[in-house]
Amino acid sequence: MSRIGKVPVALPSGVSATAEGSVLSVKGPKGTLTMPMLDDISYGIEDGRIVVRPANDTKRARSFWGMHRTLVQNLVTGVTDGFTKVLEITGVGYRAAAQGRNLRLQLGYSHDVNIAVPEGLEVKTPDPTTVEISGNDRQRVGQLAAEIRQWRKPEPYKGKGIKYRGEFIFRKEGKKK
């Protein structure tokens, strides 16, 4: 049995949830998020909580149970607090600048890298070596952060590149004479 799936998701004040058809929607101060519901999982809204249970005793239902409870929790967290990913840029001459709905990166290439910021996400650059991505959908925030990081992954010898805040880069020793 899923230990995570057993715990109901609490709905804070100002957040409402509805399950209509095959879509679960959660509405809060930071917008509305929806998620398709599986037939193998039953979703119940009772006493200000969302309860997720397997609808039957199949292996598929039991394996999706905990994951769908976590996805429901991410919907509730997204419409109340939102999600933020912070990227740090390390390297001589490497910098970032947010310009409207675009992010401009200088990463040592012969050209600047321009990345369009999707609707619903916000990108800030508090200083030239820090990029903050925020939004209410955890998957979209993480996907944009991964796409930005893909342009120049941190390398193990000098640590140059784009890394997540708090990420440990395993350092290697250079070549010896």
Look at residue 87 in the predicted model and tell me its pLDDT: 97
Task: Please answer whether residues 154 and 90 qualify as being in contact, where contact means their C-beta atoms are separated by less than 8 angstroms.
Answer: yes
83 token code pair? 């999600």
Look at residue 177 in the predicted model and tell me its pLDDT: 80
Of 44, 53, 20, 45, nearest in space to 34 by CA: 20
CA 139, CA 145: separation in Å to the nearest integer? Answer: 10
Question: Which residues 6+ apart lie within 8 Å of 75 measured at CB?
Answer: 24, 26, 33, 35
Average pLDDT along the chain, 177 residues, taken 10 residues at a time:
86 92 92 93 91 92 93 95 96 94 95 95 96 96 96 94 94 88
Read off the DSSP letter of residue 111: S
CA 64, CA 41: separation in Å to the nearest integer? Answer: 8
36 token code pair? 């398709």
Of 3.90.930.12, 3.40.50.720, 3.40.50.300, 3.90.1150.10, which CATH number belongs to 3-80? 3.90.930.12
> What angle do the packed helices 59-80 and 138-150 form, to 10 degrees?
90
* DSSP for 8-59, written as a single string: PEE--TT-EEEEETTEEEEEETTEEEEEEPPTTEEEEEETTEEEEEESSS-H
Look at residue 21 in the predicted model and tell me its pLDDT: 86
Question: pTM of the full predicted structure?
Answer: 0.90
Query: Which alpha helices (DSSP H) does the chain contain, by range?
Result: 3-6, 59-80, 138-150
Look at residue 1 in the predicted model and tell me its pLDDT: 63
Question: Which residues 6+ apart lie within 8 Å of 155 measured at CB?
Answer: 161
CA 31, CA 1: separation in Å to the nearest integer? Answer: 33
Task: Please answer whether residues 68 and 4 qualify as being in contact, where contact means their C-beta atoms are separated by less than 8 angstroms.
Answer: no
> Which helix (DSSP H) or strand (DSSP E) does residue 99 occupy?
strand 95-99
CATH architecture of 83-164: Alpha-Beta Complex (3.90)
**Residue ranges covered by each domain of the chain:** 3-80, 83-164
Common-topology check for domains 3-80 and 83-164: yes
